Amino acid sequence: MDFQIEVNNKLISVNEGETLLVALRNNGFKIPTLCHMNRFAPTGACRLCVVEVEGKRDLITSCSYPAEKGMKVKTNSQRVMRARKSLVELLLSNHPDDCLYCQRNGNCELQWLAAEMNIKERKYFGAKNQQYPDYSSTSVARDPAKCVLCSRCVRICEEVQLVTAIDFISRGNQTTVNSAFEKGLNQSSCIHCGQCIQVCPTAALFDISHVEKVQAALQRKDKKVIFFISPSVIASTIQSTDLKPRNLVAGRLASALKRSGAFKVFDLGAASDIHILEEAEQLVDMLGNKSEKPFPLISSCCPSWQKYVEMYRPDTLRQLATIKSPQHIMGSMLKTMYADEAGIDVEQMYTVAVMPCLAKKHEASLDENTHKGLSEVDAVLTVRELFQLLKSFGLNLEQMEEDILDIPFDNSSAAACKLGYSGGKAEAVAAEVYRLMHNDTLENFKFVQPKSATAKKETKVQIGKKMVGFAWVSSIQEAEKYLTALKEEERNDIHYLEVMACPEGCAGGGGQPISRGFTSVHARKKICLDLEKTKDFSFPNQNPLIKTESQNKLPDRMRIPYKNWYVKTFNEK
Protein backbone atom coordinates (compact mmCIF):
# COMPACT_ATOMS: atom_id res chain seq x y z
CA MET A 1 0.00 0.00 0.00
CA ASP A 2 1.40 3.38 -1.05
CA PHE A 3 1.36 6.49 1.09
CA GLN A 4 2.94 9.93 0.97
CA ILE A 5 5.57 11.71 3.01
CA GLU A 6 6.86 15.27 2.78
CA VAL A 7 10.51 15.71 1.81
CA ASN A 8 11.98 19.21 1.57
CA ASN A 9 8.44 20.64 1.33
CA LYS A 10 7.53 18.27 -1.50
CA LEU A 11 5.17 15.26 -1.33
CA ILE A 12 6.53 11.94 -2.59
CA SER A 13 4.99 8.46 -2.83
CA VAL A 14 6.44 5.67 -0.72
CA ASN A 15 5.85 1.91 -0.76
CA GLU A 16 4.86 0.16 2.44
CA GLY A 17 7.86 -1.38 4.21
CA GLU A 18 10.53 0.73 2.52
CA THR A 19 13.29 2.33 4.53
CA LEU A 20 13.59 6.09 4.33
CA LEU A 21 16.82 5.79 2.33
CA VAL A 22 15.23 3.57 -0.34
CA ALA A 23 12.18 5.83 -0.56
CA LEU A 24 14.33 8.94 -0.95
CA ARG A 25 16.59 7.40 -3.60
CA ASN A 26 13.62 6.03 -5.55
CA ASN A 27 12.32 9.59 -5.76
CA GLY A 28 15.57 11.11 -6.98
CA PHE A 29 17.11 12.36 -3.73
CA LYS A 30 20.85 11.69 -3.53
CA ILE A 31 21.75 10.52 -0.03
CA PRO A 32 25.42 9.71 0.70
CA THR A 33 26.37 6.41 2.37
CA LEU A 34 29.47 4.31 2.93
CA CYS A 35 28.20 1.28 4.82
CA HIS A 36 24.97 0.66 2.91
CA MET A 37 24.73 -2.18 0.35
CA ASN A 38 21.66 -3.19 -1.60
CA ARG A 39 20.25 -6.63 -0.65
CA PHE A 40 21.87 -6.42 2.81
CA ALA A 41 20.24 -5.51 6.11
CA PRO A 42 21.10 -1.90 7.03
CA THR A 43 23.51 -1.18 9.88
CA GLY A 44 23.62 2.63 10.09
CA ALA A 45 27.32 2.36 10.93
CA CYS A 46 28.71 5.23 8.85
CA ARG A 47 25.84 7.65 9.72
CA LEU A 48 26.40 9.63 6.51
CA CYS A 49 22.80 9.03 5.47
CA VAL A 50 21.40 11.09 8.38
CA VAL A 51 18.32 13.23 7.75
CA GLU A 52 16.21 15.53 9.89
CA VAL A 53 12.68 14.37 10.74
CA GLU A 54 10.13 16.74 12.24
CA GLY A 55 9.35 15.74 15.83
CA LYS A 56 12.66 13.90 16.34
CA ARG A 57 15.29 15.54 18.50
CA ASP A 58 18.26 13.75 16.94
CA LEU A 59 19.17 13.20 13.33
CA ILE A 60 18.21 9.70 12.19
CA THR A 61 19.98 7.27 9.87
CA SER A 62 17.71 6.95 6.85
CA CYS A 63 19.10 3.53 5.84
CA SER A 64 17.73 1.83 8.97
CA TYR A 65 14.64 3.93 9.70
CA PRO A 66 11.31 2.89 8.14
CA ALA A 67 9.32 5.44 6.17
CA GLU A 68 6.12 6.36 8.03
CA LYS A 69 2.95 7.92 6.74
CA GLY A 70 2.78 11.70 7.23
CA MET A 71 6.41 12.19 8.27
CA LYS A 72 8.19 15.41 7.27
CA VAL A 73 11.83 15.04 6.27
CA LYS A 74 14.64 17.45 5.46
CA THR A 75 17.61 16.00 3.58
CA ASN A 76 19.62 19.19 3.08
CA SER A 77 19.08 21.38 6.12
CA GLN A 78 22.05 23.23 7.63
CA ARG A 79 22.15 20.78 10.51
CA VAL A 80 22.21 17.74 8.19
CA MET A 81 24.85 19.23 5.89
CA ARG A 82 27.13 20.14 8.81
CA ALA A 83 26.80 16.66 10.32
CA ARG A 84 27.68 14.90 7.06
CA LYS A 85 30.62 17.20 6.38
CA SER A 86 31.99 16.69 9.90
CA LEU A 87 31.75 12.91 9.52
CA VAL A 88 33.74 12.97 6.28
CA GLU A 89 36.29 15.36 7.80
CA LEU A 90 36.76 12.96 10.72
CA LEU A 91 37.28 10.05 8.30
CA LEU A 92 39.92 12.12 6.51
CA SER A 93 41.65 13.07 9.77
CA ASN A 94 43.79 9.92 9.83
CA HIS A 95 43.53 8.93 6.17
CA PRO A 96 46.79 8.80 4.14
CA ASP A 97 47.50 11.79 1.90
CA ASP A 98 48.60 9.72 -1.09
CA CYS A 99 45.66 10.09 -3.46
CA LEU A 100 47.96 10.76 -6.43
CA TYR A 101 49.59 7.34 -5.99
CA CYS A 102 46.49 5.43 -4.90
CA GLN A 103 45.03 2.56 -6.94
CA ARG A 104 41.56 4.06 -6.58
CA ASN A 105 42.44 7.67 -7.42
CA GLY A 106 39.45 9.04 -9.31
CA ASN A 107 37.30 6.06 -8.38
CA CYS A 108 37.23 6.42 -4.58
CA GLU A 109 33.97 7.00 -2.73
CA LEU A 110 35.69 8.91 0.08
CA GLN A 111 37.31 11.17 -2.50
CA TRP A 112 33.93 11.74 -4.16
CA LEU A 113 32.29 12.61 -0.84
CA ALA A 114 35.04 15.10 0.03
CA ALA A 115 34.59 16.79 -3.35
CA GLU A 116 30.78 16.86 -3.08
CA MET A 117 30.96 18.43 0.38
CA ASN A 118 33.52 21.02 -0.75
CA ILE A 119 36.20 19.91 1.71
CA LYS A 120 39.36 21.79 0.74
CA GLU A 121 41.61 21.33 3.77
CA ARG A 122 42.25 19.02 6.69
CA LYS A 123 40.27 20.33 9.66
CA TYR A 124 41.01 17.56 12.16
CA PHE A 125 44.30 15.75 12.73
CA GLY A 126 44.20 12.18 14.00
CA ALA A 127 46.89 9.60 14.70
CA LYS A 128 47.82 7.72 11.53
CA ASN A 129 47.16 4.00 11.27
CA GLN A 130 50.50 2.28 11.83
CA GLN A 131 49.55 -1.04 10.20
CA TYR A 132 51.50 -1.99 7.10
CA PRO A 133 49.98 -3.21 3.81
CA ASP A 134 49.59 -6.97 3.40
CA TYR A 135 50.87 -8.33 0.07
CA SER A 136 51.11 -11.96 1.19
CA SER A 137 48.20 -13.24 -0.91
CA THR A 138 48.54 -14.25 -4.56
CA SER A 139 45.45 -12.23 -5.49
CA VAL A 140 44.21 -9.72 -2.87
CA ALA A 141 46.24 -7.01 -1.10
CA ARG A 142 45.18 -5.03 1.97
CA ASP A 143 46.11 -1.53 3.13
CA PRO A 144 44.55 -1.08 6.62
CA ALA A 145 45.55 2.61 6.70
CA LYS A 146 42.87 3.34 4.09
CA CYS A 147 40.09 1.40 5.79
CA VAL A 148 37.04 3.46 6.84
CA LEU A 149 35.43 0.58 8.82
CA CYS A 150 32.33 0.58 6.61
CA SER A 151 31.95 -3.23 7.16
CA ARG A 152 31.15 -3.97 3.51
CA CYS A 153 34.04 -6.38 2.97
CA VAL A 154 33.38 -8.15 6.27
CA ARG A 155 29.71 -8.63 5.44
CA ILE A 156 30.14 -9.90 1.89
CA CYS A 157 32.89 -12.29 3.00
CA GLU A 158 30.79 -13.62 5.88
CA GLU A 159 27.22 -13.45 4.57
CA VAL A 160 27.65 -14.13 0.83
CA GLN A 161 30.86 -16.17 0.64
CA LEU A 162 30.61 -17.79 4.11
CA VAL A 163 34.38 -17.86 4.70
CA THR A 164 34.92 -14.91 7.09
CA ALA A 165 38.51 -14.49 5.96
CA ILE A 166 38.45 -10.99 7.49
CA ASP A 167 36.59 -9.50 10.45
CA PHE A 168 36.64 -6.66 12.95
CA ILE A 169 39.39 -6.87 15.57
CA SER A 170 39.64 -4.91 18.86
CA ARG A 171 37.21 -2.14 19.86
CA GLY A 172 36.68 1.60 20.01
CA ASN A 173 39.19 3.70 18.13
CA GLN A 174 41.52 0.67 18.02
CA THR A 175 39.12 -1.26 15.76
CA THR A 176 40.60 -2.63 12.54
CA VAL A 177 39.62 -5.12 9.86
CA ASN A 178 42.07 -8.00 9.68
CA SER A 179 42.42 -11.73 9.11
CA ALA A 180 42.45 -14.23 11.99
CA PHE A 181 45.26 -13.72 14.51
CA GLU A 182 46.36 -10.75 12.38
CA LYS A 183 48.22 -13.11 10.05
CA GLY A 184 48.55 -12.42 6.32
CA LEU A 185 45.72 -13.21 3.92
CA ASN A 186 47.83 -16.10 2.61
CA GLN A 187 47.27 -17.83 5.97
CA SER A 188 43.55 -17.06 6.10
CA SER A 189 40.50 -18.86 4.73
CA CYS A 190 40.36 -16.48 1.74
CA ILE A 191 39.06 -18.10 -1.47
CA HIS A 192 40.44 -15.27 -3.67
CA CYS A 193 37.05 -14.33 -5.16
CA GLY A 194 37.75 -10.58 -4.93
CA GLN A 195 34.22 -9.63 -3.92
CA CYS A 196 35.68 -7.62 -1.03
CA ILE A 197 37.51 -5.44 -3.56
CA GLN A 198 34.30 -4.93 -5.52
CA VAL A 199 32.50 -3.47 -2.49
CA CYS A 200 35.38 -1.58 -0.82
CA PRO A 201 34.78 2.19 -1.10
CA THR A 202 38.50 3.05 -0.90
CA ALA A 203 41.77 1.25 -1.66
CA ALA A 204 41.85 -0.66 1.62
CA LEU A 205 41.54 -3.76 -0.58
CA PHE A 206 42.97 -4.07 -4.10
CA ASP A 207 44.40 -6.64 -6.53
CA ILE A 208 47.91 -7.98 -6.57
CA SER A 209 48.83 -6.37 -9.88
CA HIS A 210 50.55 -8.21 -12.73
CA VAL A 211 50.67 -5.12 -14.96
CA GLU A 212 54.32 -4.26 -14.32
CA LYS A 213 55.64 -7.75 -14.99
CA VAL A 214 53.60 -7.95 -18.21
CA GLN A 215 55.02 -4.57 -19.25
CA ALA A 216 58.53 -5.87 -18.52
CA ALA A 217 57.92 -9.04 -20.56
CA LEU A 218 56.61 -6.98 -23.50
CA GLN A 219 59.86 -4.99 -23.52
CA ARG A 220 62.10 -8.08 -23.59
CA LYS A 221 63.24 -9.19 -27.04
CA ASP A 222 63.86 -12.74 -25.85
CA LYS A 223 60.20 -13.20 -24.82
CA LYS A 224 57.24 -14.04 -27.04
CA VAL A 225 54.25 -12.69 -25.12
CA ILE A 226 50.99 -14.46 -25.92
CA PHE A 227 47.68 -13.06 -24.66
CA PHE A 228 44.45 -15.04 -24.53
CA ILE A 229 41.23 -13.19 -23.82
CA SER A 230 38.10 -14.53 -22.14
CA PRO A 231 34.79 -13.84 -23.97
CA SER A 232 33.59 -12.29 -20.67
CA VAL A 233 36.34 -9.67 -20.99
CA ILE A 234 35.04 -8.71 -24.44
CA ALA A 235 31.59 -8.17 -22.89
CA SER A 236 33.08 -6.09 -20.05
CA THR A 237 35.06 -3.97 -22.51
CA ILE A 238 31.90 -3.28 -24.49
CA GLN A 239 29.98 -2.42 -21.31
CA SER A 240 32.72 -0.08 -20.05
CA THR A 241 33.45 1.70 -23.35
CA ASP A 242 30.19 1.30 -25.31
CA LEU A 243 32.24 0.57 -28.45
CA LYS A 244 30.26 -0.27 -31.58
CA PRO A 245 29.86 -2.42 -33.58
CA ARG A 246 30.16 -4.93 -30.79
CA ASN A 247 31.43 -7.81 -32.91
CA LEU A 248 34.59 -5.82 -33.78
CA VAL A 249 35.71 -5.15 -30.19
CA ALA A 250 37.78 -8.35 -29.98
CA GLY A 251 39.64 -7.25 -33.11
CA ARG A 252 40.31 -3.82 -31.61
CA LEU A 253 41.68 -5.41 -28.44
CA ALA A 254 43.92 -7.65 -30.55
CA SER A 255 45.17 -4.60 -32.45
CA ALA A 256 45.90 -2.67 -29.23
CA LEU A 257 47.75 -5.57 -27.60
CA LYS A 258 49.85 -6.19 -30.71
CA ARG A 259 50.80 -2.52 -30.75
CA SER A 260 51.97 -2.92 -27.17
CA GLY A 261 54.31 -5.72 -28.28
CA ALA A 262 52.24 -8.92 -28.08
CA PHE A 263 53.44 -11.82 -30.25
CA LYS A 264 50.00 -13.45 -30.55
CA VAL A 265 46.48 -12.75 -29.27
CA PHE A 266 44.14 -15.73 -28.92
CA ASP A 267 40.51 -16.36 -28.03
CA LEU A 268 40.21 -18.24 -24.73
CA GLY A 269 36.76 -19.36 -25.91
CA ALA A 270 38.45 -22.14 -27.89
CA ALA A 271 39.60 -23.69 -24.59
CA SER A 272 36.12 -23.07 -23.13
CA ASP A 273 34.69 -25.20 -25.95
CA ILE A 274 37.04 -28.05 -25.02
CA HIS A 275 36.14 -27.64 -21.34
CA ILE A 276 32.39 -27.85 -22.08
CA LEU A 277 32.85 -30.94 -24.26
CA GLU A 278 34.91 -32.70 -21.60
CA GLU A 279 32.44 -32.01 -18.78
CA ALA A 280 29.59 -33.19 -21.02
CA GLU A 281 31.43 -36.44 -21.77
CA GLN A 282 32.01 -37.04 -18.07
CA LEU A 283 28.29 -36.54 -17.41
CA VAL A 284 27.37 -38.91 -20.26
CA ASP A 285 29.63 -41.56 -18.70
CA MET A 286 27.91 -41.07 -15.35
CA LEU A 287 24.44 -41.31 -16.91
CA GLY A 288 25.51 -44.52 -18.63
CA ASN A 289 26.83 -46.00 -15.36
CA LYS A 290 30.38 -45.95 -16.71
CA SER A 291 31.66 -43.85 -13.82
CA GLU A 292 31.70 -44.29 -10.05
CA LYS A 293 31.23 -40.57 -9.43
CA PRO A 294 28.15 -39.72 -7.34
CA PHE A 295 25.55 -37.31 -8.71
CA PRO A 296 25.42 -34.44 -9.23
CA LEU A 297 28.52 -33.79 -11.33
CA ILE A 298 29.69 -30.34 -10.17
CA SER A 299 31.44 -27.86 -12.45
CA SER A 300 35.13 -27.25 -11.78
CA CYS A 301 36.01 -24.12 -13.77
CA CYS A 302 35.70 -21.66 -10.84
CA PRO A 303 38.95 -21.59 -8.79
CA SER A 304 37.27 -19.88 -5.81
CA TRP A 305 34.71 -22.69 -5.64
CA GLN A 306 37.50 -25.28 -5.90
CA LYS A 307 39.36 -23.59 -3.04
CA TYR A 308 36.21 -23.53 -0.91
CA VAL A 309 35.53 -27.22 -1.55
CA GLU A 310 39.09 -28.17 -0.61
CA MET A 311 38.85 -26.28 2.70
CA TYR A 312 35.23 -26.77 3.75
CA ARG A 313 33.63 -29.61 1.75
CA PRO A 314 36.29 -32.30 1.14
CA ASP A 315 33.51 -34.89 0.80
CA THR A 316 32.37 -33.03 -2.34
CA LEU A 317 35.76 -33.23 -4.11
CA ARG A 318 34.91 -36.52 -5.82
CA GLN A 319 31.85 -34.90 -7.41
CA LEU A 320 33.86 -32.18 -9.17
CA ALA A 321 34.46 -32.58 -12.90
CA THR A 322 38.06 -33.67 -13.42
CA ILE A 323 38.99 -31.15 -16.07
CA LYS A 324 41.07 -28.02 -15.65
CA SER A 325 39.60 -24.58 -16.16
CA PRO A 326 39.69 -23.07 -19.68
CA GLN A 327 42.57 -20.83 -18.56
CA HIS A 328 44.82 -23.79 -17.89
CA ILE A 329 43.61 -25.89 -20.78
CA MET A 330 44.80 -23.01 -22.95
CA GLY A 331 48.03 -22.65 -20.97
CA SER A 332 48.69 -26.38 -21.30
CA MET A 333 48.06 -26.38 -25.05
CA LEU A 334 50.25 -23.33 -25.63
CA LYS A 335 53.23 -24.74 -23.73
CA THR A 336 52.96 -28.23 -25.22
CA MET A 337 51.18 -28.71 -28.56
CA TYR A 338 51.37 -25.13 -29.82
CA ALA A 339 55.01 -24.62 -28.78
CA ASP A 340 56.02 -27.82 -30.61
CA GLU A 341 53.97 -26.95 -33.70
CA ALA A 342 55.24 -23.35 -33.88
CA GLY A 343 58.82 -24.30 -33.02
CA ILE A 344 58.95 -21.97 -30.02
CA ASP A 345 61.19 -22.59 -27.02
CA VAL A 346 58.85 -22.91 -24.02
CA GLU A 347 61.22 -20.82 -21.89
CA GLN A 348 60.82 -17.95 -24.36
CA MET A 349 57.04 -18.12 -24.24
CA TYR A 350 55.25 -15.78 -21.81
CA THR A 351 51.53 -16.47 -21.52
CA VAL A 352 49.09 -13.84 -20.22
CA ALA A 353 45.45 -14.62 -19.44
CA VAL A 354 42.99 -11.71 -19.50
CA MET A 355 40.15 -12.68 -17.19
CA PRO A 356 37.17 -11.24 -15.27
CA CYS A 357 38.21 -13.30 -12.25
CA LEU A 358 40.69 -12.43 -9.51
CA ALA A 359 41.01 -16.04 -8.33
CA LYS A 360 42.67 -16.91 -11.63
CA LYS A 361 45.81 -15.25 -10.25
CA HIS A 362 45.83 -17.76 -7.41
CA GLU A 363 45.05 -20.64 -9.77
CA ALA A 364 48.00 -19.71 -11.99
CA SER A 365 50.35 -19.87 -8.98
CA LEU A 366 49.47 -23.46 -8.03
CA ASP A 367 52.16 -26.13 -8.40
CA GLU A 368 49.87 -28.49 -10.34
CA ASN A 369 49.51 -25.83 -13.04
CA THR A 370 53.14 -25.97 -14.11
CA HIS A 371 54.93 -27.64 -17.01
CA LYS A 372 58.57 -28.69 -16.65
CA GLY A 373 58.95 -26.25 -13.78
CA LEU A 374 57.36 -23.38 -15.71
CA SER A 375 53.91 -21.95 -15.05
CA GLU A 376 51.33 -22.75 -17.71
CA VAL A 377 50.09 -19.18 -17.28
CA ASP A 378 52.77 -16.65 -16.41
CA ALA A 379 50.51 -13.69 -15.61
CA VAL A 380 46.81 -12.95 -15.22
CA LEU A 381 45.33 -9.55 -15.94
CA THR A 382 41.90 -8.60 -14.66
CA VAL A 383 39.67 -6.35 -16.78
CA ARG A 384 40.78 -3.41 -14.63
CA GLU A 385 44.44 -4.24 -15.23
CA LEU A 386 43.86 -4.66 -18.97
CA PHE A 387 42.53 -1.10 -19.17
CA GLN A 388 45.47 0.11 -17.05
CA LEU A 389 47.96 -1.66 -19.36
CA LEU A 390 46.45 -0.10 -22.47
CA LYS A 391 46.48 3.36 -20.85
CA SER A 392 50.14 2.98 -19.89
CA PHE A 393 50.98 2.41 -23.57
CA GLY A 394 48.82 5.35 -24.64
CA LEU A 395 46.39 3.13 -26.55
CA ASN A 396 42.76 4.13 -27.06
CA LEU A 397 40.42 1.35 -28.18
CA GLU A 398 38.13 3.85 -29.88
CA GLN A 399 40.97 4.81 -32.22
CA MET A 400 42.15 1.27 -32.93
CA GLU A 401 41.65 -0.31 -36.33
CA GLU A 402 40.29 -3.84 -36.31
CA ASP A 403 42.82 -6.66 -36.36
CA ILE A 404 42.15 -10.39 -36.27
CA LEU A 405 42.75 -12.90 -33.52
CA ASP A 406 45.53 -15.32 -34.35
CA ILE A 407 45.09 -18.88 -35.56
CA PRO A 408 44.64 -21.60 -34.46
CA PHE A 409 42.76 -20.16 -31.45
CA ASP A 410 40.94 -17.44 -33.35
CA ASN A 411 37.32 -18.46 -32.91
CA SER A 412 34.92 -20.12 -30.53
CA SER A 413 31.31 -21.17 -30.32
CA ALA A 414 28.37 -19.24 -28.91
CA ALA A 415 28.47 -21.72 -26.02
CA ALA A 416 31.84 -20.31 -24.91
CA CYS A 417 30.15 -16.95 -24.24
CA LYS A 418 27.72 -18.72 -21.91
CA LEU A 419 30.46 -19.23 -19.33
CA GLY A 420 30.26 -15.48 -18.71
CA TYR A 421 27.09 -15.61 -16.61
CA SER A 422 25.36 -17.88 -14.12
CA GLY A 423 23.27 -20.60 -15.76
CA GLY A 424 24.99 -20.30 -19.11
CA LYS A 425 27.44 -23.13 -18.61
CA ALA A 426 24.70 -25.50 -17.42
CA GLU A 427 22.83 -24.82 -20.66
CA ALA A 428 25.96 -25.36 -22.76
CA VAL A 429 26.74 -28.68 -21.04
CA ALA A 430 23.10 -29.78 -21.35
CA ALA A 431 23.13 -29.13 -25.10
CA GLU A 432 26.34 -31.11 -25.55
CA VAL A 433 25.04 -34.04 -23.46
CA TYR A 434 21.88 -34.04 -25.56
CA ARG A 435 23.93 -34.11 -28.77
CA LEU A 436 26.15 -36.94 -27.57
CA MET A 437 23.14 -39.06 -26.58
CA HIS A 438 21.05 -38.23 -29.69
CA ASN A 439 23.40 -39.25 -32.49
CA ASP A 440 24.93 -35.82 -33.03
CA THR A 441 21.65 -33.93 -33.37
CA LEU A 442 20.10 -31.14 -31.29
CA GLU A 443 16.63 -31.39 -32.78
CA ASN A 444 13.93 -30.84 -30.13
CA PHE A 445 16.50 -29.72 -27.51
CA LYS A 446 14.91 -27.37 -24.99
CA PHE A 447 16.54 -25.75 -21.97
CA VAL A 448 14.03 -23.59 -20.13
CA GLN A 449 15.42 -21.22 -17.50
CA PRO A 450 12.96 -20.02 -14.82
CA LYS A 451 12.00 -16.39 -15.36
CA SER A 452 11.20 -15.60 -11.73
CA ALA A 453 14.15 -14.35 -9.67
CA THR A 454 12.84 -16.27 -6.65
CA ALA A 455 12.36 -19.59 -8.47
CA LYS A 456 14.81 -22.46 -8.04
CA LYS A 457 17.58 -22.21 -10.61
CA GLU A 458 17.10 -25.63 -12.10
CA THR A 459 15.47 -27.30 -15.08
CA LYS A 460 14.89 -30.76 -16.54
CA VAL A 461 15.85 -31.89 -20.04
CA GLN A 462 14.47 -35.01 -21.71
CA ILE A 463 17.53 -36.85 -23.01
CA GLY A 464 16.67 -40.21 -24.54
CA LYS A 465 14.48 -42.04 -22.07
CA LYS A 466 15.90 -40.18 -19.10
CA MET A 467 14.86 -36.86 -17.56
CA VAL A 468 18.18 -35.19 -16.68
CA GLY A 469 18.24 -32.42 -14.08
CA PHE A 470 20.48 -29.36 -14.40
CA ALA A 471 20.92 -26.67 -11.74
CA TRP A 472 23.05 -23.57 -11.30
CA VAL A 473 23.96 -21.34 -8.36
CA SER A 474 26.17 -18.29 -7.92
CA SER A 475 27.88 -17.30 -4.64
CA ILE A 476 29.06 -19.73 -1.98
CA GLN A 477 25.97 -18.98 0.10
CA GLU A 478 23.68 -20.22 -2.70
CA ALA A 479 25.89 -23.26 -3.32
CA GLU A 480 25.89 -24.30 0.35
CA LYS A 481 22.15 -23.79 0.64
CA TYR A 482 21.45 -25.82 -2.50
CA LEU A 483 23.79 -28.72 -1.70
CA THR A 484 22.42 -28.91 1.85
CA ALA A 485 18.85 -28.97 0.50
CA LEU A 486 19.71 -31.77 -1.96
CA LYS A 487 21.07 -33.87 0.90
CA GLU A 488 18.29 -33.15 3.40
CA GLU A 489 15.52 -33.73 0.86
CA GLU A 490 17.32 -36.85 -0.43
CA ARG A 491 16.89 -35.67 -3.99
CA ASN A 492 18.43 -37.66 -6.82
CA ASP A 493 16.86 -35.80 -9.75
CA ILE A 494 19.71 -33.29 -10.23
CA HIS A 495 22.57 -34.68 -12.30
CA TYR A 496 24.65 -31.58 -13.03
CA LEU A 497 25.31 -28.53 -10.86
CA GLU A 498 27.05 -25.39 -12.10
CA VAL A 499 28.67 -23.38 -9.30
CA MET A 500 30.16 -19.91 -9.68
CA ALA A 501 31.54 -18.28 -6.53
CA CYS A 502 30.74 -14.71 -7.58
CA PRO A 503 27.15 -13.43 -7.57
CA GLU A 504 25.73 -13.74 -11.12
CA GLY A 505 28.84 -15.66 -12.20
CA CYS A 506 31.76 -14.15 -14.13
CA ALA A 507 29.62 -11.12 -15.04
CA GLY A 508 30.02 -10.14 -11.37
CA GLY A 509 33.60 -11.41 -11.04
CA GLY A 510 36.12 -9.90 -8.66
CA GLY A 511 38.28 -8.70 -11.56
CA GLN A 512 35.54 -6.74 -13.28
CA PRO A 513 35.50 -2.91 -13.34
CA ILE A 514 34.37 -1.64 -9.94
CA SER A 515 30.76 -0.51 -10.01
CA ARG A 516 27.99 -0.11 -7.48
CA GLY A 517 24.95 -2.38 -7.53
CA PHE A 518 23.99 -5.01 -10.07
CA THR A 519 23.12 -2.72 -12.99
CA SER A 520 26.52 -3.23 -14.64
CA VAL A 521 26.45 -6.96 -13.91
CA HIS A 522 23.11 -7.43 -15.67
CA ALA A 523 24.35 -5.27 -18.56
CA ARG A 524 27.38 -7.57 -19.00
CA LYS A 525 25.13 -10.62 -19.05
CA LYS A 526 22.96 -9.05 -21.74
CA ILE A 527 26.05 -8.26 -23.82
CA CYS A 528 27.21 -11.89 -23.49
CA LEU A 529 23.82 -12.97 -24.83
CA ASP A 530 24.18 -10.51 -27.72
CA LEU A 531 27.71 -11.75 -28.49
CA GLU A 532 26.40 -15.31 -28.77
CA LYS A 533 24.36 -14.21 -31.78
CA THR A 534 27.46 -12.90 -33.58
CA LYS A 535 29.30 -16.25 -33.51
CA ASP A 536 29.80 -18.31 -36.68
CA PHE A 537 28.75 -21.52 -34.95
CA SER A 538 26.65 -22.32 -31.90
CA PHE A 539 28.10 -25.46 -30.35
CA PRO A 540 31.60 -26.55 -29.24
CA ASN A 541 31.69 -29.64 -31.47
CA GLN A 542 31.40 -27.34 -34.51
CA ASN A 543 34.70 -25.62 -33.65
CA PRO A 544 37.16 -26.49 -36.47
CA LEU A 545 40.00 -26.66 -33.94
CA ILE A 546 38.25 -29.38 -31.98
CA LYS A 547 37.41 -31.33 -35.12
CA THR A 548 41.14 -31.66 -35.78
CA GLU A 549 42.36 -31.78 -32.16
CA SER A 550 39.75 -34.01 -30.53
CA GLN A 551 39.13 -33.47 -26.85
CA ASN A 552 39.88 -37.18 -26.40
CA LYS A 553 43.50 -36.40 -27.22
CA LEU A 554 43.89 -34.07 -24.26
CA PRO A 555 46.95 -35.03 -22.22
CA ASP A 556 46.33 -36.31 -18.70
CA ARG A 557 47.92 -33.17 -17.26
CA MET A 558 44.82 -31.22 -18.36
CA ARG A 559 42.73 -33.27 -15.99
CA ILE A 560 42.55 -32.68 -12.24
CA PRO A 561 43.33 -35.64 -9.95
CA TYR A 562 40.46 -34.96 -7.53
CA LYS A 563 40.04 -38.65 -6.78
CA ASN A 564 43.51 -38.81 -5.25
CA TRP A 565 42.94 -35.57 -3.36
CA TYR A 566 39.68 -36.90 -2.01
CA VAL A 567 41.19 -40.14 -0.71
CA LYS A 568 43.98 -38.23 1.04
CA THR A 569 41.65 -35.66 2.60
CA PHE A 570 39.07 -38.28 3.57
CA ASN A 571 41.64 -40.48 5.32
CA GLU A 572 43.10 -37.52 7.22
CA LYS A 573 39.63 -36.52 8.41
**In angstroms, rounded to a whole number, what is the distance separating the alpha carbons of residues 513 and 505?**
14
Q: What per-residue confidence (pLDDT) applies to 244?
A: 76
User: What pLDDT does 562 receive?
Assistant: 41
CA–CA–CA angle 352, 398, 227 (5° rounding): 10
pLDDT over threshold 50, residue 32: yes
Look at residues 109, 401, 103 and name the one whose alpha carbon lies nearest to residue 249.
401
Residue 97: pLDDT band (50, 70, 90) is: confident
Q: By the 8 A CB rule, do 423 and 499 touch?
A: no
The pLDDT of residue 130 is 79
Looking at the DSSP assignment, which residues form a beta bridge with residue 225?
Answer: 350
Region of residue 44 (phi > 0: left; psi between -120 and 50: alpha; otherwise: beta):
left
CATH architecture type of domain 2-76: Roll (3.10)
How high is the mean pLDDT of the chain? 91
**Region 169-195 average pLDDT:** 93
Please indicate whether residue 545 or residue 148 has the higher confidence score (pLDDT): 148
pLDDT of 51 reads 97
In which band, very low, low, confident or very high, does the pLDDT at 554 lie, cut at 50, 70 and 90? low
pLDDT at 57 exceeding the cut of 90: yes
pLDDT, tens digit, 9 for 90 and up, residues 237-257:
999 887 877 778 999 999 999
Confidence (pLDDT) at 570: 28
d(CA 81, CA 88): 11
Q: Is 320 helix (H, G, I), strand (E, B) or coil?
A: strand
Label residue 545 by pLDDT band (50, 70, 90). confident
User: What residues contact residue 432 under an 8 Å CB cut-off, 6+ apart?
Assistant: 276, 277, 280, 415, 539, 540, 541
Distance of CA 287 to the CA centre of its chain: 32
**Closest residue by Cα to residue 405 from 277, 223, 532, 249:** 249
Around Cβ 544, how many Cβ atoms within 10 Å? Answer: 14
pLDDT (average), residues 496-511 = 96
In terms of DSSP H, where are the helices of 189-229? 195-199, 211-219
Cα 201 to Cα 104: distance, rounded to the nearest angstrom: 9
Stretch among 54-68, 392-406, 448-462, 538-552 having the lowest mean pLDDT = 538-552
SS3 annotation, 390-456: HHHCCCCHHHCCCCCCCCCCCCCCHHHHHHHCCCHHHHHHHHHHHHHHCCCCCCCCCCCCCCCCCCC
- Quote the percentage of the chain above a pLDDT of 90: 76
Q: Per residue in 451-469, pLDDT tens?
A: 766 668 999 999 988 999 9
Q: Coil, helix or strand for 64?
A: coil
- Average pLDDT (441-451) is 85
Q: Is 214-563 in CATH node 3.40.50.1780?
A: yes
pLDDT of 557: 54
Domains 2-76 and 214-563 share a fold: no
The b/e string for 97-106 (b: 16+ C-beta within 10 A; e otherwise) is eeeeebbbee
- d(CA 184, CA 477) in angstroms, rounded, equals 24
- DSSP, residue by residue, 260-318: TT-SEEEETHHHHHHHHHHHHHHHHHHHTT---PPSSEE----HHHHHHHHHH-GGGGG
Residue pair 7/24 in contact (Cβ under 8 Å)? The answer is yes
Could you state, in order of their start, the residue ranges of all structural domains in the chain? 2-76, 214-563
Q: Please, which pLDDT band fits residue 572 given cuts at 50, 70 and 90?
A: very low
pLDDT at 305: 97
Task: Report the SS3 class of residue 209.
Answer: coil
Banded pLDDT at 563 (limits 50, 70, 90): very low
Rounded to an integer, the average pLDDT of 146-159 is: 96
Quick one: CA dihedral 179, 184, 187, 191, positive or negative? positive
